[in-house]
Structure 1
Amino acid sequence: MSRVTVANRQHVAQLDYFHKGFRNLPEAPTLYPSEEEFKDPIVYIQKNRALISSFGIAKIVPPKSWKPPRLFNDKKKFETKKQNIYQLCNRITPHDLFMLLLRKFLTKRDPKKADKLGETWTDLESSEIMISGNAIDLYNLFLEVLSRGGYDQVTSTDNWHQILQSQLILGSVDDRAPKLLQYIYRDYLLELEYEQKRKAGAPQWKKEISETSNVVSQNSSSSTNSCLNTEKMNKKRRLVEEDEHVGLSLKDALIAVVLYFKDTLDDEDDCLICSKRLDHKTDCLTAFCKECDPLNKQKFGFLEGCVVNIEELKEYSEIFRRQWFLARKSRYGICPKEEKLLHEPPYLEAEYWRLVDSSQDAVSVYYGSDLFTNLCGSGFPSFEGREKFMEENVKSSSAREQYDRYLLHPWNLNVLPELGSSLLSCLNVKIPGITIPWLYIGMLFSSFCWHNEDSYMYSLNYMHEGEGKIWYGCSGGTNAALFEASLSLCIPELFDTNPDLLYNMVTTVNPLRLFEKGTTVCRTIQYAGEFIVTMPQAYHAGFSLGYTCAEAVNFACTDWLPFAWAAHSRYIKFSRAPAFTLEELFIGVINSPDFLTKTCSSEAKYLLKYIQKIVNFELSQRNKCFALCPRIVCENKLQSLGECSLCKHGCFFSSLIVLGNEDEVVTFCLHHVKEAASYPSRRELIFSYKYSMEELNLLVSRAQELVRQRQGNQVTQKENGFKKTAIENIVIACSDQKV
């Protein structure tokens, strides 16, 4: 049986495991609103709230009449982020450890070569070892050559062109490429291979791995030895890749690589990074000192990517798809039937999670996320873009009519935040990504990692065009807490060093692993022309099946308020600044001239409840402040009171100002009165406010009065059949401008 056949059977078995697992996940609801139901998105979502909330997410397929214009400029440039797929779950990978070992190995022999490997932890991004502008993954190259018998065997059989096909090289290569790859291996890896062979039997504490090293390093031309090499290499691959299908834990995978390669170094008792002598009683990987232990590595984020336009990212996505699966074919083999699957969602889904879980292949992709529509343009008609569109389409009356038909459509994501039933319409400021939509332009495997929305709000995502996205969802409330617990069990090392890990939105974990821990996770596929709605506190994640262009915005109804209260309390705990404060929102709601049109009486009561909670907390904390502060200052309503230095919470009603030594000025919110009072260098403590106690009490009285009015007016409005919305306000404003 050939090496490729064996590898392919293992590879296909793993993909089949994922296929079966994802088929067992519940499907998120798919809703098909009628023309009548499609008139108001918030009303429709609220009507189906119970169903959607039980899953966390749902897909909404518009009626066939929904055909908004395509308004993207394919030539418009945008910035992308580079996502290392192999690091989305496992921050420190077998690849990283190998490169550390190789760097240390080369440093003692030829420091100039070691310098060309690139910076520690980001070698592929800064490596000088390239072919046709593509950095070569030396770890994968090393494994591939060893699996074929080693350097001498590959050279004698003239198989460097096959080794080249196993590498992810995007773009065209000339006839010299196989020879260049051979030279790269000879210059950077051959001595390591020979050194392993020389020391193959030395370490007694890992005899099996040493024997494997000995066998794969032998240069034998006999078919018997070649088969033996294949069998031993497959054992070695399983050590650093997967334990059958599910995968080794991060710690086990790292230990496997360290034990396999570390004996090659002359000073195997030194830290791989700082060369400090190790105390094996305290070093978890027997390769790093405490200070350099990679499991404590905290900083991680997406790298700065390329600047492209839509056409270029489309093309790159297809090149990447083609070259990646050519490399996969070379490594594992592929049958004609499987080649047809390369565009099929189930296959791509399995392949994606194989890449994430194994961290074996250093695959990176680009994602244009969180793009400002006021810079890149919205996919929907907008007032800002109307004049230009009309000028460019002056001869096309149908295009102009279509633009205006969707300009005020409630499902237009530029309009949605202004709908009267969304509390966010009461904010006095427009917030990008919250009330102003953001664009998301991706390629194959572009990922949005596990997260829930800012302040646990609702979100609505629309895919304008593309090959589709796979979404995973988990409902809010109790299941969200179970999700977090399951996630921490899957990646405890990351949570130990990053308690606020989920807020960074750079971490993903296979839904099957979460499902096995008892978390209810659903999935769905969003295609072009479809919406995805996420509910309050619902965690969601996913990735693109190819080129995709989507747009998303937030909204909030009164049923969101308990989630908002919980989210903002948690933000204070983790020192995370919210996009807006509840105090700011409630002031906007109460002062909104059409507040009565926004809620029914039960919703108004709900609002009153949380306004009272906010005001009661403020007044109780003020009593403490008055006893501490000899100086009290009333600020103008337009004056900012700053941000709390501890929790980053915006000080909207009032703040405590500490004057310290010299020119030191420190701001605290009323959640941190004790900390302000005990500030070490405090010279003076000032209480600063914008709203007096009388005004705050008046705020509650106003809310109570509005609730009473709402109860009385609700019957009258039903009889008149009239309910003014923010859409109508836009129309009136637009008409006034024309006059």
Structure 2
Amino acid sequence: MATRKKTLAAAVAAAAAASPSNTPIALSKRKKRATPSTPVLAKDESTSMDIDTDESVVIERSARGGKMMSTHSMSNDTRLRRLSSKKKSPNTGSSSSPSSASKKSPSKNNKKVTSSSTGTSLLSEFKAAKSWDSEKVRNWDIQEAPVFYPTVEEFRHPLAYIEKIRPIGEKYGICKVVPPYKAQPIMTQIDPKTFKFKTKLQNIHQLKTRWSGPSEVFVAELCSFLEERGESMLSFPQYDGHDLDLYRLFVEVNKRGGYWDVTRSNGWQEILVLLKVSDKCYKPIQMLKQHYNKYLYAYELARKAQYDELLKQHPNKQHPSMIEQVISECIQYDESNDDDADDMEDDQEDFGFYEGNTYSLEHFEQLASNFSMRWFPNGNNDPDSVESEFWRIVENGDENVQVHYGSDLDVRTHGSGFERVKDFDPNNEETHPKEHWNLNTLPKMKRSVFSHLTDPVSGVTDPMMYVGMLFSSFCWHNEDNYLYSINYMHTGTYKTWYGVAGDQSEVFERAMQESLPKLFSKTPNLLSMLITMMSPAALKESKVPVCRTLQSPGDFIITFPQAYHAGFSHGFTVAEAVNFAPADWLPYGVKSTEHYQAVHRTNVFCLEQLMMALSKRAPSPELIKWLLPCLEKIYANEKTARAALIAKGCVN
């Protein structure tokens, strides 16, 4: 490896000596940035005072490094250090590696990639390997979840109506309830200018496969190359509000001959389209060129120098183009180095969602709308097309797609789309005519056992807000303590939901573990972390009955006890959700407590305390029917546990 790095550095020095005086990057050693938390910004990005509000939404992200949201999460900086520390070449020793580069300058006649000189284009082969049938998702033939249309009178009694539809809905795990009339818009309760929240950044392409394939190989090699030059990449470069896809940028530029050929032919606009750059990005071409100069141009020169030497050493032999060799190296390394890919997947323990920015609801809607328009510039974002595109990204895992998601926003600090009722009377189980179910009061109604909780529990007794954009995802999970949940979409586009019935949860868990054994062996509680997706087709193949439904503004989605569910947004969405617990949930509460004890997981509230409170407050015959068997089971478990302690001599 040391020999390889010396020769590569020599190639860079030779390329620098032969390059024109207006070379867009200085190839001499530069100073390192002080710390990852203070990344250097391009002058135009940090000093411009005349940018409008929309642009600042995007530029704000570029001034930050991404840090992760939990102890299970890994920062961009950590990920880069891990990549550079591997210092492995994607090449297996062939003469096309930069290690064989001479100290001579690159040829000025480096050809654009049209087809390989061997007759078969590696670029087209790579594209074919990652192709995706647009009809694939439609052909999965996933059954639809039930949809209910209550009458005006039925709708006035929310918990009674949910109890009525439970025998059907729980067989699917989820269902949709369409109110009999439209609701007042969310803006009557929330000011989009003052409603502010912090987002998480989700890498959609890594929701199933943590190892990003050729892109990871390329970045690891690039980090090693830059470190040899004393120019370590301290954090992923930020561009247009997300991590810049360095591999895709390098490939697209060099398919067209390299930096100078793209510049002379005014080809940067085409690169912007291929990278799906938004029209709100500040000076997009100038900023993209600056990033290319800073991180990729020296590597381009080194690869061209190495390629010219290869041609001189074997003048009578046909060779693929330089960029095809780069792609081939990354693909071959990805396919032949399973151990390294396993190492990457072992790092799943560090995988999570990055900390994003703080946005107002108004600014986030602009960001989300802009992202959707650049992803579907022809307006072909019908629900089937969006669903197909989402699963293409997740299943292929080879295209860097990073989105913002404002999740788990406590209404007590952020505000609710429903009226916050003070001194609510739990005996009042009716909603006002022409009003939708208020998620602030529904969990506290008399039919919900949460009316007996003494302290509020965020997300359980008080709702949380969820603000999404195209591809924002909620990964497979079931609710804390196997509770019911209800989700209402206030405004936006659509959300696709998938569900698996609670009585099929063990089948679902087994299918997930068999499909992703390495992830589960490393992190047994993977499903409780909400960071993993698997397609409904894969579940269906594993004999897991799965259903789907499409949520529109004004729709309620109900998830039933222990039911696994997942989904994603089709664009800008504002939703609100809360848990609730009718009496029929109590057996699931006991079941969840037993499971949590076995896996050493904490309950979100004390079930025993809740049940004792219920028993002391003159429960109704209907409640007693569910409560008594649960109390008897808890008593028996406690008696058995105490007897075991006595037998071991732990207590008198």
Q: Is the 8 A contact 1:258 1:287 kept in 2?
A: no
Aligned AA (1:215): P
| Aligned ranges 1:357-396 → 2 under 5 Å | 357-384=395-422
CA apart distance, 1:157: 4.8
CA apart distance, 1:16: 1.6
What's 1:49 paired with?
Answer: 166
| Aligned ranges 1:573-592 → 2 under 5 Å | 573-592=598-617
| Aligned ranges 1:575-654 → 2 under 5 Å | 575-593=600-618, 595-596=619-620, 599-600=621-622, 603-625=623-645
Aligned CA distance change for structure 1 residues 97 and 571 (closer, same or farther; 3 Å): farther
Q: Is the 8 A contact 1:470 1:542 kept in 2?
A: yes
Q: Which structure ranks higher in relative contact order (CA pairs < 8 Å, sequence separation ≥ 6)?
A: 2
Structure 2: 5+ residue runs without aligned partners?
1-112, 116-120, 312-316, 425-429
CA apart distance, 1:490: 2.4
Q: Is the 8 A contact 2:217 2:333 kept in 1?
A: no
**Which residue of the other structure, out of 322, 329, 336, is the alignment partner of 1:217?**
322
Aligned CA distance change for structure 1 residues 216 and 492 (closer, same or farther; 3 Å): farther
What's 2:462 paired with?
Answer: 436
CA apart distance, 1:165: 2.9
| Secondary structure, counterpart of 2:628 in structure 1 | helix
Distance of 1:410 and 1:347 partners within structure 2: 31
CA apart distance, 1:79: 1.5
**Which residue of the other structure, out of 443, 450, 466, is the alignment partner of 1:424?**
450
Using the size of structure 2 for normalisation, the TM-score is 0.72
Aligned CA distance change for structure 1 residues 65 and 312 (closer, same or farther; 3 Å): closer
Distance of 2:143 and 2:414 partners within structure 1: 36
Structure 1: 5+ residue runs without aligned partners?
119-125, 202-210, 219-228, 241-254, 260-283, 327-338, 387-403, 630-676, 678-684, 688-739
CA apart distance, 1:101: 2.1
Question: Percent identity over the alignment?
Answer: 34
Q: CA RMSD in A?
A: 3.6
CA apart distance, 1:362: 1.6
Q: Is the 8 A contact 1:443 1:546 kept in 2?
A: yes
| Aligned ranges 1:187-202 → 2 under 5 Å | 187-191=297-301, 193-194=303-304, 197=307
Distance of 1:483 and 1:90 partners within structure 2: 19
Aligned CA distance change for structure 1 residues 193 and 346 (closer, same or farther; 3 Å): farther
Aligned AA (1:363): V
Structure with the higher helix share, 1 or 2: 1
CA apart distance, 1:184: 4.5
**Which residue of the other structure, out of 153, 172, 176, is the alignment partner of 2:281?**
172
What's 2:181 paired with?
Answer: 64
Query: Does residue 143 of the first structure (1) align with residue 260 of the second (2)?
Result: no
**Which residue of the other structure, out of 353, 357, 373, is the alignment partner of 1:302?**
353
Q: Is the 8 A contact 1:441 1:550 kept in 2?
A: yes
CA apart distance, 1:560: 2.2
| Secondary structure, counterpart of 2:135 in structure 1 | helix
What's 2:484 paired with?
Answer: 458
CA apart distance, 1:484: 1.3
Aligned CA distance change for structure 1 residues 487 and 620 (closer, same or farther; 3 Å): closer
Aligned AA (2:226): L
Aligned AA (1:553): V
Aligned AA (1:84): N
| Aligned ranges 1:244-643 → 2 under 5 Å | 256-257=333-334, 259=336, 285=338, 287=340, 294-325=345-376, 339-342=378-381, 344-384=382-422, 406=432, 411-477=437-503, 479-593=504-618, 595-596=619-620, 599-600=621-622, 603-625=623-645
Distance of 1:322 and 1:410 partners within structure 2: 31
CA apart distance, 1:458: 0.8
**Which residue of the other structure, out of 222, 226, 232, is the alignment partner of 1:102?**
222
Distance of 1:423 and 1:46 partners within structure 2: 14
Aligned CA distance change for structure 1 residues 132 and 467 (closer, same or farther; 3 Å): closer
Residue deviations 1:485-517 (CA, integer Å, cap 9, x gap): 221222222111011000011111122222222
CA apart distance, 1:582: 2.1
**Which residue of the other structure, out of 256, 263, 267, is the alignment partner of 1:159?**
267
Aligned CA distance change for structure 1 residues 543 and 180 (closer, same or farther; 3 Å): same
Distance of 1:385 and 1:606 partners within structure 2: 28
Residue deviations 1:52-100 (CA, integer Å, cap 9, x gap): 1111101000112654763112122112111111221112212333212
| Secondary structure, counterpart of 1:449 in structure 2 | strand
| Secondary structure, counterpart of 2:171 in structure 1 | helix
Q: Is the 8 A contact 2:475 2:533 kept in 1?
A: yes
Residue deviations 1:652-709 (CA, integer Å, cap 9, x gap): xxxxxxxxxxxxxxxxxxxxxxxxx5xxxxxxx7x9xxxxxxxxxxxxxxxxxxxxxx
Q: Is the 8 A contact 2:487 2:576 kept in 1?
A: yes
Aligned AA (1:217): M
| Secondary structure, counterpart of 1:439 in structure 2 | strand
Q: Is the 8 A contact 1:467 1:546 kept in 2?
A: yes
Aligned CA distance change for structure 1 residues 9 and 198 (closer, same or farther; 3 Å): closer
Distance of 2:320 and 2:463 partners within structure 1: 58
Distance of 1:68 and 1:151 partners within structure 2: 50
Aligned AA (2:617): S
Aligned CA distance change for structure 1 residues 152 and 59 (closer, same or farther; 3 Å): same
| Secondary structure, counterpart of 1:54 in structure 2 | coil
